[in-house]
Structures are given as structure tokens and as C-alpha cells.
A = this chain, B = another copy of it.
């Protein structure tokens, strides 16, 4: 049987399970599958192509003979085990933020910088979900007219915080609708000093706070975009916000270009670009929305308009399924570049 020995670390999590689904959908050539997780989840079983797999505890010895190791068990696990997996000869594709800004580690979005994948030294980082969908939309515009400045505000789904947060949003919503005080225990992030209501509310914090009073998600969007697009000096600022949506991140992206690019031309370019579906028909009230992105691999772009407040300005509205293109699908696409 030809194909690769694939391991998934964090196989019982939301992203891990979706990686399995995407591997199956895209018919990635697998000859052996090793499912790994923390000791807490070890022993549970997961289905793949009709077969039942037992999940084993991930240890440094788990990666013997593995060709591709997908990691989605958090930064701590990646730091501990990814180097061991790479040393065993596996190509690690890491969903955590542990190695993303490491100059030795390529940070790859296949539509933007596929060539960087080949430069890996055993570990390739998968970018942050909100970064991936934005750079897919920005790159064709940059190629056409040169990016000068980006101002982005996000509308992010709770699934970015895992299974627990989806359940949390549902539980809180039921409580509010029934006139009960909602029990808050998922947002802004696991282990936070305090929790905020997310049902019928909006929370302007994702991940912990970092330098300049930016939250870490905002700094990820800034720094990862610069690295992926190979624009180390790109002028970019971000405000990242959690909204009561289960799946699908939305982004209001304001772009200043170096050269003229009328909206009609921008639309034409985006329509022809890999991984993008343009949904932009105001007269029919058609534009991207999270509900339409669920389960899809494409990045949806609409509300493409001139911004007259600046020379060569454009506004875009960018939506994608944060668990698929924002995590699982992008990871599998990276593996496909090397398979």
C-alpha cells in the first residue's frame, strides 16, 4: 500500500478531527495513521474511513517512521514534542503559535508563499486562523498594486476557542433566552482571570494581552502577515473581537495600496485567484457571511469598495471557516505541497 505514515497530535480536538475529515475528503495518500493525544484523551477511539483507531498518548517515541505529523494540541505540546518528531524524520505541520515567528521555521499559506514550505528543517508552522484568510485575500491585491497599509477589525467565531466554547455559547444563549443568568466559563480564553458573557454580546479580546495593550491575536495578525507575505515593514494594525457565532471568522479589511486599483479591477483579480470565492452583489443583497462559510475551504470576499479617504484605498469583507481554511485545510494543503 503506497502513501505516507501520518500522525495527528490532538486527534480528539476540534481541529484534529477536522484534519482527519479533510485528509479523507482530499484523499491524501495514507498508508498508516497514528492518532495521538494527551494522556487525558488517550484510549478513546476515533473513526477514519470506516475504521476505528485507538488514540495513544503522545510521547517523544511516538513518531518512529512517521512522514507527516500534524500538531494541534496547543503550544505547550508542540514545544515539547515537535522537535522530537522532526528529529525522527517526520515533517511537522504545527497549528500552534509555538514556532510561527521562529526564523528557522517557514510559516505557510499555500496560496501565498508555497515556496517557503520547501525550506523547512523539519517543522512548518500553520498560521493563525484570522491571519490565513486575510493574507489569501490581500496577496493578489499586493501583487497587482502593492500593499501600503492595512487596518483590520475582526468578527471571530467562538469555535476558535474549541469545542468547549461552542457549547458555552449555546448554553449561555439558552440561559439568556429563558431569562436566566448565563454561566460564563469560556470567553475570553481558557484559564482567564474572569469570564465574560458571549451570548448576545461582543468581546473585544482574543487571547491574552501583549505589548502596547494589544491582545496576542492582534499581534499575531500583524507579525504573521508580515512574515508570510515577506513584507517585514508592512504597516498594519488590528483589532480582534469575539462575536456570538459558532463557525466562521469575518474581517473588515481596509487596504491602502501603492498604486491605483479600482474596485472593479480588484474584483476581477480576486475572482481569478486561488482559494477565493468573490460574493459581491449588493443589488441582490449578496455578500460573505459566516453561515455560508461553514464547512467550506475557500475564502469568501465581498463588499469590495473604493475608500475615498485615502489615495488608492479599498475596503473588503473577508469570511472563512476558521476551523477549515483557518486551521485543518491549510495544514493538509501544506502537506500536499510536500507529498
Contacts and interface: CB of A to CB of B under 8 A. Distances in A.
Contact of A204 (B246, B287, B307): B287
Interface of A: 149-151, 153, 155, 169-170, 173-174, 177, 188, 192-194, 196-197, 200-205, 209, 212-215, 235-237, 239, 241, 243-246, 250, 252, 254, 263, 282-285, 287-291, 302-310, 313, 315, 317
Contacts of A170: 177
A113 B303 CA distance: 33
Given A285-B205, A309-B151, A315-B237, A245 B200 contact: yes
Copy total for this chain: 2
Prevailing SS type, chain A contact patch: mixed
B194 A237 contact: no
A309 B235 contact: yes
B188 A177 contact: no
A212 B306 contact: yes
Most buried by B among A194, A213, A215, A317: A213
A285 B177 contact: no
6 closest Cβ pairs, A-B complex: A235-B309, A153-B252, A153-B153, A209-B282, A237-B307, A239-B252
Given A174-B177, A188-B285, A239 B201 contact: no
